[in-house]
Structure 1
Amino acid sequence: MLAGVDVGSTHCKAVLCAPDGGVLARAERPTPGDPTGRTYDVRALTGAALGALADCVRHAGRRPDAIGLTGMAETGALLDAGGEPLTPALSWADPRPARYADRLRREVGAGHLHAVTGILPSAKVPLAKWLWLAAEEPGLVRRARRWAGAADLVAQALTGVVATDGTFAQRTMAWDPRAGAWHEDLLALAGLDAARMPDVRRPGEPAGRTADGVPVVVAGHDHLVGAWAAGVRGPGQAADSMGTAEAVLTVADHAPDPAAAAAQGMSYGRHADGEAWCVVAGLPSSGGLVEWFCDRFLGLADRPSAERYARFRALVAEAGDGPTGLLVEPYLAGRSAPLPDRGRRLAVHGLGAGHGLPQLARALLEGAAHQARWMADMQGELTGAAPASVTLLGGPVRLAEWTAIKAAVSPWRTRVCRAAEAPCLGAAAWAGAALGLDPTALTCPVRILSAPGDTGQAYQREHRQRFLPAVTAPRPQPTEESQP
């Protein structure tokens, strides 16, 4: 029996499964963060992840033979010589290091950083966090003896060892994915060195073992691990990992041209297997658009997630099928890719007297679907081939209207991963590798969405003729009359 644990931004999930992916038990617990969304208490975070795992063990009535860990990248804490946290776990969503990311752009150069690490500077990367901490609390950084990401903290709680994998290491912006090594010059900017970084394990190599000998594997970044579990493993295959934020990734047999990828705001690096390469782009406000709509227009800020999505889905169904005639630029907090523009904001075009909340709700899904197709198209250009298929995965795939819109907008075959816990299952597969099992034996079930016909032609025409011209048009500059 294999265990997979996903340390997520909003929930910690766990499964116990057979080597072929058959699930015997599943559980989840809320991820306990502070009200600002900037930090997590380290003990509470690891407690939620281990609590979900314990719930599964109680339900199944037996312990796993190996444990795999995945979860959010960029979130982590500095530890002292005894392994105790010197800081809370600083969230990837914490905006406070933003000016230090700007400093990296100015003093090191975004192009150079991207060419070396595959990552573009932003407030979420740990290198910017370390620079911020070094400036604000230099004594704390001098006392630090380890950095540990969210999944690494759980591995430490299980084994006493701090270790990670290459996909998490890369998201720090201090790891060279070509050399497979920490970049000492970048670490030195914050007064750190490779000795204070977690040891980086190969795919399937245990970080350590529990007191009773169970191997614990840090499988890597949740978007990559989930995509891998869903069968997105070879060149030309792409995944659309949907959640509060959304990541689109395309697998390739080579790294893209760094300058071209940087211009599109896309990162690149090794896939979960440590062999293939992948190009990754993000939309920070995918499911976040639904949450925003439910809060602002439906007054559901304090209601359970299931109720919020049920109300939202009913509105979308009321709008009917086919394009709404509205065009949404789905940027609640800027656009990261393609053509990064931090100043780009949510915009609705074509709103008229005949439109109401149902049409606006559906139009938000349309806008996010158009954006995801645009990201996949650009990744096809960077890797040299259009995607042969795109696999949708993540909690929002339960919203059938959304997956249908994505299939209609896209010219390629659309697959839907039917396993809600794909990252957990991927982590479990790589845990099995520590026992000598073949991780490729586990693949999540998928279904193929039918060709959309006339509706698809209408959406694809709208993508070419309305969406792309709108989002690539220069933003209007304020005139003197509009100045306060």
Structure 2
Amino acid sequence: MTLVLGLDIGSTSTKAALVDVHAGVRVLHLEHRPTPSDPRALVAVAADAARCCALRASSPIAAVGIASMAESGAVLDADGAPLTDLLRWDRAVERAHLDHLLALRPGLPETTGVPATTKPAAVGLIALRAEQPALFRAMRHWAGAADMVAHALTGERVLDHTLAVRTMLAGADGDAWDAELLDALGIASQTLPALRAPGEPAGLTDDGAAAFGLPRGIAVHVAGHDHAVGAWAGGARQPGDAADSLGTAEAVVRVAEHIDRADAVTAGFAVSRTVDGAARTVLGGSRSCGSLLARWEAENTGTIALLADEDPGRWRTSELTVLPYPEGRQCPDPDPAAVLHTLGDGDHDARARALLQSLVSHARWMRETADRLAGSPSTSLVLLGSLAHRLRAWPALAAAAGVPTRLTHAREPVAAGAALLAAVRENAVSEDATLGAQPVAPAVAPGLDDAHRRFLAAVRDSTGGGAPHRPEEGER
């Protein structure tokens, strides 16, 4: 038995996974906690979840991996005490601060591979300087969720390349902070964590790890951006592979040899590297996933129960279409004015099925646009996340697009994936090891292709004629 521990600091919940990688990848125990906004509480929650897993370990833990949401961090003083709550990726930030950043560096989205939105830390820090100058001057550290936990374990302030890129303060490879930009923003380089190359540990556990139930001397790795970690762990590592990560938000990750960053960011996609640094990725994101389902359930009680009971083999295609954009559309064809809207009339069941069909259609549109940016069709698709297990029709509807599709066995693939990545980096398991997954049989309900075409037409009509990408023959 070879045990590793994975932590996933997510937007809604923090997960810890105790994983055995001796013969395959087996999740032995999972812990879930709500993710708090207070940085001290966040570290305490991660420690409590990890400690509960460590108590279940029947042999020493070989390594620890930490993944987290991106673009979320807190301001700390010289002693590491938080001066702010966690400033999350989905917080409201005035557009004027982004405009100021782009005035300083007009080509920043193209050079970093990060779309021009208000989410990155670079924009948040400009906002902090303008709106709370005294707080900005008092800042001695900017710490993201993953590096706060890594620091509690090791005493080191470090970050990996996938999370560094998302700050918009590092180059396209995330291997160095942009000294010129930091100077223009008035940010000292030592304010930010040190950057670790792929495979390089954050450090070894020190006395602070006792709160996590761990002894000194265990290697700790910042695994990276949660969606990137899940994609890699699910086997999306080679050009042509794609992953769809379903959580509070959704992300489609497409691996490619080369991607034009300017084209990608214009379409609302981010460009980075796989967590092992071996290939390029293009990532499309949507806030409309688990969060939209929860909102829909609050207004239409019974939706999730109905969809959970749907037999994929007996799916009935809804004639309705839902534009699943309660907070605008990030990609493709970014549209901050996009709205949540149902086209057509139907009963509760028809509207519920239309919601799921449309969420799947939007993900398919993201993937097919990523294929266009990568210059080739996807050759495989892996689905990640507990939603795909809870709503049994979801994987089958995704597979109906014609790409060979698998569903990971792990209900929390990011936490398990962070553990697996740490194990690979510590040579505790083969570098080819992946989370177990099962093939998905596609849904064969009549009318699904027509429903997808109606979805694309509805998007086009809602954006004033800006036609979405329609896949060429052979891309399907």
2:161–2:173 contact (8 Å) kept in structure 1: no
C-alpha change, 1:347 and 1:105, in structure 2 (3 Å) is farther
State the distance in 2 between where 1:400 and 1:433 align: 31
Q: Distance in 2 between matches of 1:145 and 1:237?
A: 41
Q: Which residue of 1 aligns with 2:284?
A: 281
CA distance in 1, matches of 2:311, 2:103: 48
Deviation at 1:266, TM superposition (A): 0.7
SS in structure 2 of the partner of residue 362 of structure 1: helix
Matched residue, 2:319: 325
Q: Deviations over 1:304-323 (max 9, x none)?
A: xxxx8436535x66996232
For the Cα contact (< 8 Å) 1:102–1:121, is it kept in 2? no
TM-score, normalised via structure 2 length: 0.90
1:145-190 Cα distance to aligned partner (Å, 9 max, x none): 2211101000111111110100010110111024721112332343
Q: Which of 436, 445, 448 is equivalent to 1:459?
A: 448
Is residue 68 from structure 1 mapped to residue 62 from structure 2 by the alignment?
no
Partner of 1:168: 163
Q: Equivalent of 1:231, from 232, 235, 238?
A: 235
What displacement does 1:441 show?
4.2
User: 1:340 corresponds to which letter in structure 2?
Assistant: P
Point out where structure 2 has 5 or more consecutive residues left out of the alignment: 207-215, 466-476
1:366 to 357, 365, 374: 357
Displacement of 1:100 after TM fit? 1.4
Summarize the Cα distance change of 1:182–1:369 in structure 2 as closer, same or farther, 3 Å threshold. same
Which of 449, 456, 465 is matched with 1:468 structurally? 456
The code of the aligned residue for 2:294 comes to: E
CA contact (8 A) 1:166 1:177 kept: no
- Output the aligned Cα RMSD: 2.2
Is 1:270–2:261 an aligned residue pair?
no
Stretch deviating more after TM superposition (415-424 or 319-328): 319-328
Which ranges of structure 1 fall in alignment gaps of 5 or more residues?
A: 33-39, 301-307, 478-484
Give CA deviations for 1:451-476 in whole Å, capped at 9, x if unaligned.
434x2x62123323x12222122546
Query: Which residue matches 2:89?
Result: 92
Aligned partners of 1:429 and 1:439 also within 8 Å: no
Q: 1:423 aligns with which of 398, 403, 414?
A: 414
Indicate conservation of the 8 Å contact 2:307/2:393, yes or no. Answer: no
2:7 match: secondary structure: strand
CA contact (8 A) 2:338 2:462 kept: no
CA distance in 1: counterparts of 2:236 and 2:199, whole angstroms: 18
Q: Equivalent of 1:148, from 143, 148, 167?
A: 143
Give 1:14's aligned residue: 16
Mapping of residues 126-137 of structure 1, within 5 Å = 126-137=121-132
Shift of residue 206 of structure 1? 1.4
Q: Equivalent residues in 2 for 1:323-472 (5 A)?
A: 323-351=317-345, 355-398=346-389, 399-408=391-400, 410-438=401-429, 440-453=431-444, 455=445, 458-464=447-453, 466-472=454-460
Shift of 1:70: 0.4
Could you tell me which amino acid in structure 2 is paired with residue 343 of structure 1? A
Distance 1:311 1:469 in 2: 27
Change (3 A) 1:239 1:118: same
The aligned residue for residue 55 of structure 1 is 52
Q: In the TM superposition, what is the alpha-carbon distance from 1:71 to its structure 2 partner?
A: 1.3
Instruction: Please state if 1:2 is matched with 2:7.
Output: no
SS class of match (2:447): helix
Equivalent residues in 2 for 1:177-188, closer than 5 Å:
177-178=172-173, 180-188=175-183
- What SS does the aligned partner of 2:180 have? helix
Given that 2:75 and 2:82 are in contact with CA atoms closer than 8 Å, whether structure 1 keeps it comes out as yes
Comparing 178-187 with 7-16, which one deviates more in the overlay? 178-187
- More divergent stretch after superposition (89-98 vs 45-54): 89-98
Report what 2:221 is aligned to. Answer: 217
2-side partners of 1:317 and 1:438: how far apart? 37
Matched with 1:304 is none
Maintained 8 Å contact 1:319/1:358? no
Determine helix, strand or coil for the equivalent of 2:422: helix
Asked if 2 retains the 8 angstrom alpha-carbon contact of 1:248 and 1:282, the reply is: yes
Q: Deviations over 1:66-91 (max 9, x none)?
A: 11100111111122222222222111
Query: Displacement, 1:125?
Result: 1.1
**What is the TM-score of this pair, normalised by structure 1?**
0.88
- Number of equivalences: 451
Could you tell me which amino acid in structure 2 is paired with residue 14 of structure 1?
A: A
Superposed displacement of residue 12, structure 1:
0.9
Q: Secondary structure at the match of 1:365?
A: helix
Kept in 1: contact 2:233–2:421 (CA 8 A): no
Contact 2:319/2:451, CA 8 A, preserved across alignment: no
Partner of residue 471, structure 2: none
The CA deviation at 1:142 is 2.4
